Amino acid sequence: MTDKARIRSIIHEVTEAARPPLVPELQLALVTAASPWWSMNPSDLQSQGIPEPFWAFAWAGGQSLARFILDHPHYVAGKPVIDFGAGGGIVSLAALKAGASHVTATEIDPWAIVACEVNLESYRGQVDLSCEDWIGRQLPLGSILLCGDMSYERELCDRLLVWFGEQEDCTILIGDPGRGFIAKDRFEELATYLAPTDSDSDGRYKVRASVLLWKNAQR
C-alpha cells in the first residue's frame, strides 16, 4: 500500500461524514466524538507516525469564511480561487459550491492534501492540490485568495501580511477567530459570526469570528 493509499484508508476509518454547524450545506469527512482519535492527544498520534490532524476539524475561522462565501457568492463566482492552508477543504468546498471557476487548495501537510481529495471528490477537474508553502509567490492577476483559519501564530501572521502586501489585483479574504495576532487595521471587517470552537463535537461552545478583507490600498 502506498503512503497516499494508507493515509486515505486511515482517514476513512477515523472520520465520518459530518455537516459543520455554521455551514450545514457542506458535508466533509471529520473527526467527531465517535472517532477513536477524539480522545487522543498529539503525542499519541505521533507515536503511530501520524502528524497532528488539523485537517480533521472544521475550525471557527474556516467555518466563518465558508459561511460568508456561501452567503456572498459574488466574491468567488466565475473566478479562480486559491485556498491557502486549506486543511480538509471546507473553504474550497464553499467556494466551489458558490461557483468558483477553479480552486487551488494549498497545504504543507500531505495528510490534509489527501483529506481535500476525499472532501472535494465531486468537483474533480475543478480543483488542483498543492503540497507546498505558497507564501512568497506572486499570484495571478484577478485571483481570490482565501485563508480560512491561519491566524493561530504571530510569526505566521507576520509572514502573511508581508505576502498580502506583495500582491497586485488580488482580493484577499481571511477568517479570524480573534486570537489577537492579526493587525486588524490592515483589513475591513465584512462580517462576524458566533462560530463553534473545536472543544466539542456539536457546536455548543462559540467564539466570535470575523471575516476580514485585506485593504489593497495599503499595499
Percent of the chain with pLDDT over 90: 72
For the segment 138-188, what is each residue's pLDDT rounded down to a tens digit? 999 999 999 998 888 889 899 999 999 999 999 999 999 988 788 888 999
For the segment 57-92, what is each residue's pLDDT rounded down to a tens digit? 999 999 999 999 999 999 999 999 999 999 999 999
On the question of pLDDT at 199 being above 90, the answer is no
Q: Work out the angle at residue 206's Cα, subtended by the Cα atoms of residues 89 and 192, and round it to the nearest 5 degrees.
A: 70
Cα–Cα dist 182/43, whole Å: 29
Q: How big is the chain by its Cα radius of gyration, in Å?
A: 16
Count CB-CB contacts under 10 A for residue 75: 20
Domain 3-218 in this protein, CATH class? alpha beta
- The grid cell for 131 is 503540497
Q: Which helix (H) or strand (E) covers residue 25, if one does?
A: none
Q: Which helix (H) or strand (E) covers residue 102, if one does?
A: strand 102-106
Every domain of the chain and the residues it spans: 3-218
Whole-model pTM: value is 0.93
